[in-house]
Chains A and B, each alone.
Chain A
Amino acid sequence: MKMVFINKFILSGTKDSLFRLFFIIIGLTAFSLITLYSISDNPLSFNSSFYRQSIFLIFSSIVFIIVQNIKMKTIHDNSTFIFIGTVILCIVPFFLPAVEYTYRWIDLGFFYIQPSEYLKCATVIVIAKYLSNHQLEVKDNSIILIPSALTLLSAFIVLNQPDLGTAVIICAPLLPMLLWAGVSNFMIFLMIAPVITVLAASNIISFTIWAIIMFIFFLIFQASILTKSMLYFANIFTGLLTPFLWNNLAEYQKQRILTFLNPDLDPMGSAYHIIQSITAIGSGGLFGKGWGLGSQTQLKFLPVQESDFILSVIAEELGFFGIFCVMILCFLLIKTLLDIAFRSPDYFASLVIVGLGSILLSHIFINSAMTIGLIPVKGLPIPFISAGGSFLLSCFIMIGLVVSFSKN
């Protein structure tokens, strides 16, 4: 029964999936290089983003080949050390001089590395190990405690660098992995509920709707009436308290929180990049203005176009058609990862792949949503397309892990 379904949906076999993965990544990096060539003033000079990205690609491919040869058992057995080591690396920048007012980078002389990029993978691996080792207790609600604590610890360190974007990314794999591991839906719901409660509390109508939905959910789930009603009212109280607490804050405190959530908030310069990005995207039309012909891009109206806003360049020069291709490639990338995870015979491998897939998807979603003004500007790149060595390397390491794990 199970196999019939899979055969209907998926081509077949892990080997095919890996083959597919290979082509998807070639497709994405091709988009990247084409776009970077178009926006570089002098593509073949050493300083152009096109040239640098090509070098990084070669370097990352070498690392990829090394990583995919590492045995899964080695990684599984050493995952705790990997995690602790990366955490320490993330703390190191706090003792170094600040780079651009932040403590994100370690200067290696020829290359800046950003340890938080690797903390994302390390957190996923250590959580996967914990969950796979405690598979029998998965219906026990207390199983969520240690993964949540590890995630929050990592996120907290990164948040202090300060890097809100990466901290959000670190939190992203937690729920999909718990879900994948088989933690009860009720627990998952309990973890999401407070976040939605606080968000919904800004408006009386949305809050009422949410309170009703939450009530229905609590009716469906199986737990003692006392626990359910206590949890329900705890949520409602949090929601009712939120606007009150918010209004009680002084104006400057509110401003501080808003600026923290959106560092580029500036009365005169606010939304400048979003407006430029939306104009670039919208002006592209169905088939774009042509490669190297985007006026927004070529006239440098578009900010950080080689990394954060590279999708806007594609959208302007290659149009909706180009963006659609990119989105399909992204969809196939995540779907393939999901398939591999689903079919993987090993529980640990499967969990890690789901976690890595979640990281990639949240990168894709947050970056795209930012370029079209759905969320405030966060300096998060899009995998395999954005220029940037540290991030490209970490993406290739992730894929290397996937390949290595699916070999078993």
Chain B
Amino acid sequence: MLKIDNKADIFHYRTLLFILCFSLSSLIGRYFYLQVIDHERHFSKSEVNSVKALTTYAPRGLIMDRHGEILVDNYPTYILTATPYELKDRDEVFIKLSSIVNVSAEELDRKYKKFYRGRFLPTTIAKNLTFQEISQIEEMRLEFPGIQYSRSDERIYSPILNDAHFLGYLREVDRDTIPKLDKKLLYRAGELIGWQGVEKEYERELRFSKGIDYIEVDTYGREILRLNDSNIPAFPGENLSLTIDASLQRYCRNILEGKKGSVLVSNVDTGEILSMVSAPSYDLSIYRGKTLDSEWNNLLKNKDNPLLNRSIAGLYPAGSKLKLITVINLIEKNLVDPSDSLMCTGVYIPPGSTNEFRCWNENGHGLVDLNKAIAQSCNIYFYETVQLISLEDWTGTAKKFGFNGSTKIDLPNEKNGLIPDKDFYIRNYGRWGWSERGVLLNLTLGQGDILITPVQALRFINHIASRGETPQLRLSLSKETSYYDKILYTEKVWNHIWDGMFDAVNADQGSGWRARLKGSDIKLFGKTSTAENPHGEPHAWFIGFFEVEGTTYSIVVMIENGGGGGAVASPIAGDIVSYYINSFKSLAKK
């Protein structure tokens, strides 16, 4: 017996007794509600529950080119899943598994942790299993509690076109990304989702809809009967037809082999992209199966950046194609008479300055009128005439053509370009660090701080080729045609531009004469640009359009650090256009 007597109070006894009665009777009340009042509902639910619901999958939609050639297909593989709660000794099971499936136990464990989604839900731990591996696991079934396998499709790429950036790829969904995804599509960790290119853009269409198979199971959860009546079938994803012409795409790809750059061909009347090439590229099949980390690192560290889709996300100085912006301002506002000529001596010294601005042709072009200035890309003409235009007018015109914004092409991760305006200069150079006249000398040549993507250049040439009204660029054949804001200029403006671009290719001294189509009566309109940049050789550009059988097509060629637009880009453009026209002829012959 210890010294101190119990002094417990009857009030305290009653308080605790009350708490006891209250908590237990509330529990009993809830049990009564569930078991007696709400019994019917739960009972019918439990009847269904001896029937296990299994999620079933269907293939993802295929991706085809405009003529129905399959570019991206599916092939069946098996995936291995582990249910954490049934997995008794994880390490041991993983070690045993690794000897069968040729994946290290650490890798299995890493996947397990990455895709873990709850104690009672299967977690994907390995993919791309062969049928032999599956049969081996099936034989040793009892040694692998909690391990299941199921069929799952992987993407396979057409060998003739397995390096196209616009196709994009699939990636496994992991725990961290699920909350950011569309809830309606019912993603689970470990499933595949379109992560780039049209695979991402058209995920909603390409993705299958899940189905449910009802299976009656025995006490071990083993299937004893398939109840086919109430199954909800899984539906395959819709096939996606692209506007791409596979043979043209292949030709363009080959022509860019070993170079860096981008080629785009489109149908001006519909906005359909016939070819979109970005070089250098990489084999899409690295996203499948067991790619080694070292291969990945090589790809990521490659200084030529093969992962970048240059066509929509490469930013480059525009070069002299933007001289056409100056032309539009001059003609629309009647600032010069197109037939008036200026003297090009090869050097221009702005009034009140001692700096010399040179023409690319050091000897000078002699007397230059508007048409010759476009065709021969004379700098001096534009240095002189741009002084008649205000900075605001010039950048306003450039923005009308969609530079400085996205082309809304149906691909993710498109970059916006940059057209520096007054605000930009004040922000970056201060109020007094620049002059309007000075920057215009740069802008009129498409140099300075201007940055554009090749697909913006394509939109620009389509506006010109269609005289102001052109549909949005697109890669999906079935996507509805919608138009960019109409650009209204008098016919005079378009005529002068067309004449200049015609002469640029077809006149004797035209800067793009190497693009001229030999042995064909189809005429190519074009404009070369040689975009100086701080990273080495200038970027060679060619933009142009041509008409075949009543349809207008446009082309953009950009060779990164390639050299002169006339010398490097023009012949490539000429070859591609010739190839495309010939393919029409061979079609006609068939």
Contact = CB atoms under 8 A, between A and B. Distances in A.
Interface of A: 2, 5, 41, 72-73, 76, 132-133, 135, 176, 179-180, 182, 264, 266-270, 272-273, 276, 278-286, 295-296, 298-301, 303-304, 315-316, 319-320, 323-324, 327, 330-331, 334-335, 338, 341-342, 344-350, 354, 357, 361, 364-365, 368-369, 372, 374, 408
Contacts of A347: 2, 4-7
A48 to B, nearest CB: 14
Given A279-B42, A320-B36, A272 B121 contact: yes
A364 B20 CA distance: 11
A273 B41 contact: no
- What are the nearest 5 A-B pairs in CB distance? A282-B42, A269-B118, A283-B46, A320-B35, A266-B118
Given A266-B118, A331-B24, A374-B30, A179 B16 contact: yes
A180 B119 contact: no
A345 B5 contact: yes
B118 A268 contact: yes
Interface of A is mostly: helix
Interface of B: 1-2, 4-10, 12-13, 15-17, 19-21, 23-24, 27-28, 30-32, 34-36, 38-39, 41-43, 45-47, 49-50, 52, 85, 117-121, 178-179, 188-189, 217-221
Contact of B31 (A5, A266, A346, A372): A372
Contacts of A342: 8, 13
Contacts of B220: 41, 300
B1 A180 contact: no
Contact of B6 (A268, A303, A345, A374): A345
A76 B2 contact: yes
Contact of A320 (B6, B32, B221): B32
A268 B49 CA distance: 18
A354 B15 CA distance: 12
A335 B13 CA distance: 10
Contacts of A179: 12, 15-16
Contacts of A76: 2
Nearest to A327: B28
A316 B43 CA distance: 10
Contacts of A323: 28, 31, 35
B46 A295 contact: yes
Contacts of B117: 266, 268-269
Contacts of A364: 24
Contacts of A264: 118-119
A5 B13 CA distance: 12
B363 to A, nearest CB: 65
A327 B24 CA distance: 7
A269 B120 contact: yes
Nearest to A354: B16
A364 B23 CA distance: 10
A289 B290 CA distance: 51
Contacts of A344: 6
A276 B85 CA distance: 15
B47 A295 contact: yes
5 contacts: A282-B35, A320-B35, A345-B1, A345-B5, A372-B27
Contacts of A330: 24
Contacts of B20: 331, 334-335, 338, 361
A72 B36 CA distance: 47
